[in-house]
């Protein structure tokens, strides 16, 4: 994209903000400002007529919502780079913009609008301009998703529908552990050496991904391994 002029379209209803954007971009080498529109209708009309590499939009567009424009620009016009520069900073808006195709999100109250050219250049080189508020929302959302996946994985392991990963002998050893028997007691009951008992228990811990007798017995009970004994 940096081998030719990068075409930029801005959608911003506020006239004073429009003037700032125009002043900062109009003479910037390598950037061609193809228009600054005040509404979604005028923006989509222009997108039908000309190539656009970067679309920057406010979300507050009067009767229409910028999220609708982002979705349409991404799915119908296939604009490769869409970013938001908006007064709206709710987690719902930030996530909706990203999910609809935006690769950047700048909250106006957290930035100097004079830096508009820097944001454009950041996108040109493959970056994603993100203000601190938006960054925190995105990071927190990712953390929550990771935690939910981990919980689901643990719940799945605890489900009684999970096949028993233990051998019949290991299951027998675990059952005796659950009854509070010592290694020596298990050795006598099963007629095997304590060394063999220890080897079985190590395998049980490894297969169940636990580190103690209590954890092994609890997890096996949750998985249904000991339910029939």
Q: Are residues 139 and 172 in the same domain?
A: no
109, 143, 177 — which closes off a domain?
143
Q: pLDDT truncated to tens, each residue of the chain (229 aa)?
A: 445 789 999 999 999 999 999 999 998 888 999 999 999 999 999 999 999 999 999 999 988 889 999 999 999 999 999 999 999 999 999 999 999 999 999 999 988 888 999 999 999 989 999 999 999 998 888 888 777 665 556 555 555 456 788 999 999 999 998 888 888 889 999 999 988 998 998 899 888 888 777 778 888 887 878 765 4
Q: Are residues 14 and 111 in the same domain?
A: yes
Q: Which domain holds residue 172?
A: 168-223
DSSP β-bridge partners for residue 65: 60
H or E element at residue 57: strand 54-57
Q: Are residues 29 and 116 in the same domain?
A: yes
pTM of the model: 0.64
Contact 161, 212 (CB under 8 A): no
Q: Are residues 201 and 110 in the same domain?
A: no
143, 178, 205 — which closes off a domain?
143
Place of tokens 């424009």: 69
Q: How many Å separate Cα 65 from the centre of its chain?
A: 24
Report if residue 154 sits inside a domain: no
DSSP β-bridge partners for residue 7: 32
Q: How many Å separate Cα 133 from the centre of its chain?
A: 16
């Amino acid at each position: 994209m940096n081998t030719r002029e990068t075409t930029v379209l801005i959608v911003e209803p506020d006239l004073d903000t429009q003037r700032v954007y125009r002043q900062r971009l109009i003479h910037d080498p390598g950037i061609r400002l193809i228009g600054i529109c005040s509404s979604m209708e005028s923006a989509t009309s222009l997108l039908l007529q000309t190539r656009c590499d970067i679309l920057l939009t406010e979300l507050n567009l009067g009767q229409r919502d910028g999220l609708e424009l982002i979705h349409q620009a991404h799915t119908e016009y296939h604009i490769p780079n869409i970013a938001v520069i908006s007064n709206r900073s709710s987690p719902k808006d930030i996530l909706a913009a990203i999910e609809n195709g935006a690769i950047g999100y700048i909250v106006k109250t957290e930035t100097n609008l004079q830096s508009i050219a820097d944001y454009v250049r950041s996108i040109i080189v493959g970056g994603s301009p993100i203000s601190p508020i938006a960054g925190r929302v995105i990071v927190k959302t990712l953390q929550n998703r990771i935690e939910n996946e981990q919980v689901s994985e643990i719940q799945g392991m605890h489900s009684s529908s999970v096949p028993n990963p233990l051998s019949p002998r290991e299951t027998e050893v675990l059952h005796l552990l659950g009854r509070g028997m010592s290694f020596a007691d298990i050795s006598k009951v099963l007629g095997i050496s304590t060394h063999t008992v220890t080897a079985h228990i190590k395998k049980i811990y490894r297969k169940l991904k636990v580190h103690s007798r209590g954890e092994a017995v609890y997890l096996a009970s949750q998985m249904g391994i000991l339910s029939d004994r």
